[in-house]
Structure 1
Amino acid sequence: MLLFISKRVGIGLGLIFVVLTLIFLAIHAVPGDPAAVLASGGSSGTASPEAVEHMREVLGLNQPLSTQYLDYLRGFVTGNLGTSFRDGQPVLATILGRLPNTLELVLIACVLGSLVGVGFGALAGRFGGWIDSFVSGYSSLAISIPIYVLGTVFILIFALNLGWLPAGGYVSWQEDPIGHLRMLILPSIALSIGLSGVAARMARASVIETNRMDWVRTAKSWGLDSARVFRRHVLRNSLTPVITAIGLEVGIMLGATVLAERIFNYPGLSALLIDAVLNRDYPVVQGIVILISVLFISINIVVDLVYRVLDPRVK
């Protein structure tokens, strides 16, 4: 088990290094000079050459590319992701101020989507019939409807017409716990719909395939209770591919929060990313992309470990 974990962590560290390098190259390949933009107060081309050169020196852009790359890697290892061009605040502190909001939204959406999807898929795979038809139709709709459509429909129905829930916004847990939870309901459900559709489809197919195995038929032929056989033998062995799919979808969900946070005016990490892109705040953009990439890789490592626990035959 220790060797399995070491290999997965080693692969994850290698992927993080590749991602860091690609992000560095992509940022430096973007057209335009951030020093000229900052020196001109946002209007590129109006600053004097002396002001632009001074700004390049302040930002460290006058250093050789190799030196900038090594400083960039050293900053990542030490937790120093640079300083925001816009407000002069440390990038890591700015990101960490928004990260809990996004993680809370993604975690709730992941739990809701996984429970609904696996539950629906397991029922469809076990009983078939009209339940199977219903789940198949639901999963197709859940996967195909974009989140911005779902979010808009939810706001129109539950916020504007019925008035049951707020249309968006944010209030801290310490200030108003009930209001905090009410404002999370619509965005978390909208974000979880797509995941539930993928999980339901995967769980259904996996349960049907596992039900056809010889050892399942043998267990039933011994007179064991069908519900017990399903819980202890079919469902557990059906979860391994579902866990893999959910892990990938959670990583994708980190990117999908861009639309969800915009639609519901939720102050998360993705909203900060959009603002940073619009303001050409490259250190913040770079820091957010790095953090999301590290989270995505870490989630996949955890999924591999869970996969190993569910199925000890995996090596």
Structure 2
Amino acid sequence: MLPFVLRRLASGVVLVFVISVIAYTLLYLGGGDIARRILGQSATQETVDQKAAELGLDQPLFAQFWDWLTSALQGDLGRSWFTGQLVATGVSGRLAVTLSIVIGATLVSAIVAVVLGVLAARRGGWIDSVVQFVTVIGFAIPGFLIALYLVLIFAINLHWFKATGYIPFTTSPSGWVASVTLPIIALSFAAIAAVAQQVRGSVLDALSRDYVRTLRSRGLSMNRVVYKHVLRNAGGPALAILALQFIGLLGGAIIIERVFALPGLGQLTVEATSAGDIPIVMGIVIVTAIIVVVVNLLIDIAQAALNPKVRLS
């Protein structure tokens, strides 16, 4: 197992480096006159040139990226060019909000999708048709539209939740649950649809295998066969699609955060990208890339535990 983990970890490090190179290059090419944006249109050209030299913007792309990379490897992601705030502080403060809804949506998606997928595969008939219809609806309706309807029904009409805002867990656990419930539900719909379809197909395939008939002939109940053996064999593909959904949820969280006015990474990303605040944007890119690498590594380890053949791939 250790060589397998080390291979995956090494590929993850290479991936983070490649992403950082591409992101920095794109930001450099599309940055424009950032010093002018910081100082305003009324600033003299001499002052703008001094600011550009202070930030290292007068240096070639390679020199700028090398300075940023050497600092990042030492744990220093720099400061915002516009506010002077430490990037690590600004990103970490928003990261908890985004991870709250993304991890919550992933867990909800996994649980609901397994229940729906197994139910559709085992029962078939009208139950399978209903599950298929629900998953199609989940694919078809955009997340922001679901979010708007949730706000209209549960916040405005029923007054069960607040329409906007975020309460940290440390301030009030119950308030935190109330503030993330609707965003998690809105973010989960598409992921539930994708994972449920995968679970359904994998369970149907597993139920047709000879070992299921053998286990049933030995007197094992269908529930035990399904939940102890079938799901273990069907878990690999489901975990793979769940990992892809987690990455997609990170991107989808940007829109959901805007709808519910959550102070997460999505709002910070939009603001920093619009302003050309390269240190902030790069901090978000690297943190997001590391999260994706860690999640994929955990999924790979889980798949290797379920199927030892994966370790040899």
Cα-to-partner distance string for 1:10-58 (whole Å, 9 max, x where unaligned): 111111111111011111110511112223x2x4xx5322111101111
Residues 1-315 of structure 1: pairs in structure 2 closer than 5 A: 1-39=1-39, 41=40, 43=41, 46-314=42-310, 315=312
Separation in structure 2 between the aligned mates of residue 69 and residue 52 of structure 1, nearest angstrom: 21
Separation in structure 2 between the aligned mates of residue 282 and residue 47 of structure 1, nearest angstrom: 21
Separation in structure 2 between the aligned mates of residue 123 and residue 249 of structure 1, nearest angstrom: 21
Q: CA deviation at 1:307?
A: 0.6
| Distance change in 2, residues 1:222/1:176 (3 Å) | closer
Whether contact under 8 Å (2:25, 2:61) holds in the other structure is no
Whether contact under 8 Å (1:170, 1:267) holds in the other structure is yes
- One-letter identity of the residue aligned with 1:82: G
Cα-to-partner distance string for 1:277-296 (whole Å, 9 max, x where unaligned): 23332221221122112211
Separation in structure 2 between the aligned mates of residue 3 and residue 94 of structure 1, nearest angstrom: 36
Identity rate, percent:
36
Unaligned runs of 5+ in 1: none
Whether contact under 8 Å (1:82, 1:90) holds in the other structure is yes
Whether contact under 8 Å (1:23, 1:290) holds in the other structure is no
- One-letter identity of the residue aligned with 1:54: Q
TM-score (norm 1): 0.95
Cα-to-partner distance string for 1:71-130 (whole Å, 9 max, x where unaligned): 121122112112102210111111011111111111111111110011110111112112
Please give the secondary structure, in 1, of the residue aligned with 2:308: coil
Please give the secondary structure, in 1, of the residue aligned with 2:126: helix
Q: CA deviation at 1:177?
A: 2.6
Please give the secondary structure, in 2, of the residue aligned with 1:313: helix
- Most deviating of 268-277 and 132-141: 268-277
Q: CA deviation at 1:261?
A: 0.5
Whether contact under 8 Å (2:27, 2:276) holds in the other structure is no
- One-letter identity of the residue aligned with 2:171: E
TM-score (norm 2): 0.95
- Most deviating of 216-225 and 97-106: 216-225
Q: CA deviation at 1:238?
A: 0.7
- One-letter identity of the residue aligned with 1:229: V
Please give the secondary structure, in 1, of the residue aligned with 2:95: helix
Whether contact under 8 Å (2:28, 2:61) holds in the other structure is no
CA RMSD of aligned residues (A): 1.4
Cα-to-partner distance string for 1:138-170 (whole Å, 9 max, x where unaligned): 111112211110000001111111111111111
- One-letter identity of the residue aligned with 1:55: K
Q: CA deviation at 1:235?
A: 1.4
Separation in structure 2 between the aligned mates of residue 31 and residue 77 of structure 1, nearest angstrom: 24
Structure 1 moving runs of 4+ over 6 Å: none
